[in-house]
Amino acid sequence: MSDETWDFGETREGDENPEVQSNTFIRVNNSNIAVEPGVAFKDVVKETARNAGLGKFRVFVNGEETKPSDAPEVVQEGYQMELRPYDVAG
């Protein structure tokens, strides 16, 4: 398993979007946030992570973990993404 993680450094609280119903979304902190298909994948992940207060985290797309180096260019219709905090053992 690789040590490659998503890390966008500084975090901030607030600016969270209300939970919405959509077939293309990011799940973070037990809420689904609608995402417009066609937007830049890394940009929307970065913005969502910062808004959720996440510094290091893991990204899953349709149940499969996606490393930064394997991330798609854009969000496709039907992507069900999830951001999970990165847990460091020790």
CATH of the domain at 42: 3.10.20.30
**Per-residue pLDDT tens digits for 23-52:** 999 999 999 999 999 999 999 999 999 999
> Is 78 contained in some domain?
yes
Specify the pTM.
0.73
Based on the structure, what is the number of domains in the chain? 1
Domain carrying residue 28: 6-85
Instruction: Report whether pLDDT(75) > 70.
Output: yes
User: Please, which residues have CB within 8 angstroms of residue 23's CB and are 6 or more apart in sequence?
Assistant: 77, 78, 80
> Is 12 contained in some domain?
yes
Instruction: Report whether pLDDT(13) > 60.
Output: no
> What pLDDT score does 35 carry?
95
> Is 17 contained in some domain?
yes
> Is 1 contained in some domain?
no
